Chain A
């Protein structure tokens, strides 16, 4: 235990010091400002909730993948493709459909787009044994460029004075919000429902069992006769589909249009990797962890304005939080591994 604390502090102390030296702002002021802006006002809290939605959706999907030792780091691209899938339905396929049908089809389409984007690394992994880390990462860049191409090119709206925006979604394609906040609550409810659903899936279902076996001992999985290729595909489709839903929520709940990639997501798909790990790959734990990181994102925006700090500061702080918690987690893990190792 003492060792963990030592590890944590050996990272945190110089980290905090570095922030101080670079920015000249006292660390306690920075942290107070983050906490106050994220959790200290009604507005802050609603914004925190809003930003936690995509983190939750992506994080839940990633937890299933990581549990089976499939390293999908392409949630960012899968999210963006989900946004594209929703926009396509809303603007070009059935823009005049009634709200319930339109939104349902948009969510479905977003999930399918996200899933298909994850299908690429899946198929390359099982057919050619290519590393899914690299492929899913590269797919992120392709998705970013694709979204930007759409909003600068074929989908650029003629009514937006030349901004790289798509046309605004029809009213029926906009996800309702809670009062005058930006909380698009249907997406939030969907995320909460899926957290419970995936939790049960992992704990109790046949697929959950297969995920555990594959993740823990690939040799035993082969021996047991698991259809490993099929399971890899299913897990990546699930993981990509959930990220796709997050993308739908962003364009249909917040922006009401497709915009450049960096405008849709400040890296939710990457932050969700941290969220999934800190949530111990447990979908229920991912809910509070998403709120925490939603808060950090809100706080990060606010210290840029209020303290004039560079936007990267918050990434830095994210990193510190990650290392701090990982140091604890890893040591716990170590104890487990050690216990496992000496049992013979």
Chain B
């Protein structure tokens, strides 16, 4: 937890190792797995969540199914471009001849943009919205009730709850409640008398 997990799917050995060496210089990045072929990457992707992906053009071309089954992954993917022809609209790409500083900046920006929406968040500070949710959880509200209170979808509340648990390293309602009390987010008086799920 508290780091960004990267999957590399790059067929060229040299490019893959170069990417590893570059990524490992950026703090809070973990390389979860490296793949040199499309089939082993696709097989992995059927079973696992992926936070961030760096992929080579040829594996990318053979892996469209992965992006269908992982909605949102495309925005967290960096395509390594070998030529200037762009056959698919993708948000983030790196050209192989780009300077180290440019590449590093691109990767860091990507992480910043997405880490708050991923379970493996880069920061352990709660946002204001998350604190509000922690408060409502401690008062005994269900996700559905919280969603109604804050005009959010239940799905969004569930995502927030996941992020909160991952940032704090606490899963239970009672654990979150005690966290909220010692951090002045709520008083003991305001807490529901039966914190349970």
A, B assembled together: no
